[in-house]
Structures are given as C-alpha cells and as structure tokens.
Chains A and B, each alone.
Chain A
Amino acid sequence: MMTIEQFGRRLRARELTAVRVTEECLRRIEADNPRLNAFITVMADQALRQAREADQELAAGNDRGPLHGVPISIKDLLDIRGVPTTAASRVREGHVASHDAPTIVHLRQAGAVLVGKTNLHEFAFGTTNEDSAFGPARNPHDPTRSPGGSSGGSAASVAAGMALATIGTDTGGSIRIPAAACGIVGLKPSLGEVSIDGVVPLSRTLDHVGPLAQSVTDACLVYHALMGDAGAKPPAPMPIPGLRLAVPRKYFCDLLDGEVRARFEEALERLRTAGAHIDEVEIQHASDIAPVYLHLVMADAAAYHATALETMPEKYTPNVRLRLEMGRYVLGEDYVRALAGRERLRREVDAALSQHDALILPTLPIPAPTIGAATVEIDGVAEPVRNLMLRLTQPFNITGHPAMAMPSGNSADGLPCSVQLVGRSRQTDALIRVALACESPISGSAT
C-alpha cells in the first residue's frame, strides 16, 4: 500500500482518486477482515461519500492539505458522531456517540476519509488485543500472533493495507507496541498535546492520542492534523552528522530477545556509520518504573469503571475485569507515592536528554507473541508477556516525553523488530526531525 505522501502526489497529479483508493481499502477489509479481525465497525457508505466529496472539492480547487482524501481507520475508543464507541466491550452495548471527538473534527477538517473503527484490547487495558468482546485481532505478518495492543486492530489495518494510517491511543505503549509488532511507525506525542476529549479513558493521567502510519513523514502529517494543523509540512530532517543519541542500557537493554537485541545493535552501528554520536546514559530509578506505572494506571482505571464493575461485572472479559478489580484496592497513600516517583522519573529522563537530541532503545523486548501465550522465554527464563510488552514503553507515559516506534528489520521468522526514539518534553516536532533522519539507518533500507 502506498504512503500518504505518495497518495497525495498521485492524487494531485490526477493519477488516482480518493474514491478509487478508498474502494481498494474497503475491498481489502472485506477480503482480509474475517482473517485478521482488525475492524469492529466498517463505515463503507460514509467513507465512499467522504471520498466522493474529497474528489469533488479537489476538482473545484479546494485542497485541504496532505490528508485530503486519505482513508484512515480509527481505534474504537474515539467518538465518531452517530457510530457506536464499543471500546471492544459488552459494557458499552447500545452506546452511540452524540459528538465527534475533537481529534475526529480535526481529521474531517483535514479531508480524511474515515473507513471504520478498529478492534482493541477491551477498554485499552492490555497489550495483546486478546481480550476483546469481538474476539482477538490478528497480526498480518502471522495470524497466529498478536498484533500487539491495545491498538492492535489499528496497527493490523495499516499493515494489511486496509487504511493508509490509523489513530490509536497510548497509556502504557498502546500505539508503540502494536506499531512494533506489525512493523509500522507509531508516534506517542508529548503528554497533553493532542486532545483526549471524546476518548474512552483508561487513565487520564497517562492517556495519549496519536498516529500509526507507514512512515515517519506520514505519522508527522497525521499528528499535525490531529492538532488541527492540517496544512503543516513535515520539518526538515536533522542532519545525522552531529546528531547526539543516548542509549539507556541499564534496565532498558537488560531483558531482550536475542533477535531484537541484534536488530537494535545493527541499527546503532548504521547510525554511527552515518555520523551520529551515540553515548550511554542511566535512568537511575528505572527499576521503579513498573510499580509507579501500576499504581497510577490501576487506580485511575478503577475509578472510571467502579460503577460498571458493580452493576454489570459479567459484561467484562474475565481478565480485564480482574485487573480492574485489583485497582480498587490501591490505597491513596500509594497513589501519591507513585506520583512522586513519576516526578522523579520525569526529571531523570529530562536530565538524560539535556545533552542529547533523543534517547534510543528497543520498543518491544520480543517479537509479536503467539496469541494465548502467558509467558515468553528470554535466555531460558519464562517472562510474563504483559510485563515484557509494557517494559520499554510505559516509562514515557509516566514521564510524558514524546516517543516514536520505528521498524528496524525482521527476525528470522519474518516478525518485525522495532526501535524507539524518545525526545525532549513537549518537543515532538524536534523528535520528528530526529526520526526523519534516523528512519533509513534504523530500518536498514537504502536512503
């Protein structure tokens, strides 16, 4: 499937139309969704109407910018007026959104074509997409594998050519984990940059909205559109010679699958060869990341779900219900301790970035796990899948720094590996400049 950038060039050269590409996406959804279960709701009629309007507008000289006529899928956690927001849960049965989320308003203003709403881990509370009232979404690279989560259907939809880009949410890694598992780009912007209004929350302390796409440029275009800046052009890549990157090895590189480690080290070597300067840094309190995250997300989620847990507990999938119930036992004093830990970690990541343009580390410690696996072996030790999948992404939900997952080649089994870049707080555009420069060296593709 072509990128948004390629689509835009061909659209304006009159080589294709928004209708034709939307029809192609809908054809792929019809053909492959029974196998991948990426979509919960397909909005074929609305999408074709939007595509026709986009073509008519362009013919009349009204060009809305880079997303004009672009087919995009939406995680079924964001409100689209007149459409159910299921959150992949029976708890939401009967819901129909009365308004568009502000991000959806911005996408419509940018001329995007909304092809449908994608599957996710129930209420975004999981990393594998297995616990969904609509059944698990599956990885296009190997349908016996998870596409990651919680935005698993979103990532699968782009990797399978059912949409040119998608919108996800990320509370502990739910954009970056599925992007990594499916071999695409995922951007978690800085905390608070993109509106989370009209989005079913998991943790309002940690929730982010952002794009998953086929390239850094595409992710940048969608990110700007989400903020209402549809006409923004991608910034110039930062020159690689002189680029200062830092690897936080302790904790972040302690527990990695052998092939993920190999692809990461190869990416570092290519960046060095291209002229980047790569140091090592330490996040002193990295070992406290999991307890800090757990106490924040569990308590936040429990507060949101308390009433439904009392009145309709049987409507949750069993695993999600139990984790939500656990959150109801977090004490207030421990939540406050977690907030203190959050502040400490934020300062330490700020300090690590003070002399560097970005941190660089793997996104997922493992390739996409088999659906149903509770543990994965690393160096002969069985590790819980959920803990592993969150390990390298949740730190930057805690601290709020912008982070981007980028493909870094495949394992011997053909499963994608991914590298993560983390930028300075509230400097997502600067991170994008770094990512544009690093995209080819990290992927190993020719420039």
Chain B
Amino acid sequence: MTIESWLQAAIADAERRGLPELKPILEALARSTRALRAADFNDDASGRQSADGRTR
C-alpha cells in the first residue's frame, strides 16, 4: 500500500468514525512513515544493496 493511498483510506476511516480531528495527526504520521520507508536499513526483495554495502 502506498503512503498516499493509506493516508486517504485512514482519513476516510477516521471521518467515518467521527474523528475528523485525526486528519492532521495522520498527515504527520504519513510524513514520518515516508521517512521510515526511505531509510537505507530497509530490506528489499530484489537484493538491491544499501548505502553501507549490505544486501537489502
């Protein structure tokens, strides 16, 4: 699931549950998740190597 599609679904779910004030918090979480997914310690099934030379 992409972060964009996850964020859309999460905001829609929060609104459905009567929690529209969650939207800015979910947007902040999305920014944090984007940073987490961009980190070079993540594994990659293609075997692509990370910046430190480890197989991901």
Distance in Å from the Cβ of A60 to the closest Cβ of chain B?
59
Closest to B29 in A: A326
Q: Are B25 and A322 in contact (CB under 8 A)?
A: yes
Residues of B within 8 A of A294 (CB): 29, 32
Interface residues in B1-56 by Cβ distance below 8 A to A read 1, 6, 10, 13-14, 19, 21-22, 25-26, 29, 32-33, 35-37, 39, 41-43
**Of A26-34, A221-229, A329-337, the one touching chain B:** A329-337
Asked, given contacts A331-B1, A334-B36, whether A325 binds B41 with beta carbons under 8 Å apart, the answer is no
Residues of B within 8 A of A329 (CB): 6, 10, 13-14, 26, 29
How many A-B residue pairs have C-beta atoms within 8 angstroms? Tell me: 61
Asked, given contacts A325-B22, A326-B26, whether A295 binds B10 with beta carbons under 8 Å apart, the answer is no
Can you list, as one digit per residue, whether each of A316-349 has a CB less than 8 Å from chain B (1) or not (0)? 0000001101100111001001101101100000
Q: Are A334 and B33 in contact (CB under 8 A)?
A: yes
Q: Are A288 and B39 in contact (CB under 8 A)?
A: yes
Q: Is A291 an interface residue (CB 8 A)?
A: yes
Q: Is A292 an interface residue (CB 8 A)?
A: yes
Q: Are A337 and B32 in contact (CB under 8 A)?
A: no
Q: Are A340 and B29 in contact (CB under 8 A)?
A: no
Distance in Å from the Cβ of B35 to the closest Cβ of chain A?
5
Partner of B39, one of A298, A322, A337: A337
Residues of A within 8 A of B1 (CB): 331
Q: Are B10 and A291 in contact (CB under 8 A)?
A: no
Residues of B within 8 A of A322 (CB): 19, 21-22, 25
Residues of A within 8 A of B25 (CB): 322-323, 325-326
Q: Are B43 and A340 in contact (CB under 8 A)?
A: yes
Q: Are A341 and B36 in contact (CB under 8 A)?
A: yes
Residues of A within 8 A of B41 (CB): 285, 288, 340-341, 343-344
Cα of A291 to Cα of B43 in the assembled complex, Å: 17
Q: Is A290 an interface residue (CB 8 A)?
A: yes
Cα of A264 to Cα of B39 in the assembled complex, Å: 31
Closest to A335 in B: B36
Residues of B within 8 A of A334 (CB): 33, 36-37
Cα of A287 to Cα of B21 in the assembled complex, Å: 28
Distance in Å from the Cβ of B56 to the closest Cβ of chain A?
10
Closest to A387 in B: B28
- A-to-B contact residues, CB < 8 Å: 285, 287-288, 290-292, 294-295, 298, 322-323, 325-326, 329-331, 334, 337-338, 340-341, 343-344
Pairs A–B under 8 Å by Cβ, sample size 8: A288-B41, A291-B33, A295-B36, A325-B19, A329-B6, A331-B33, A337-B36, A337-B39
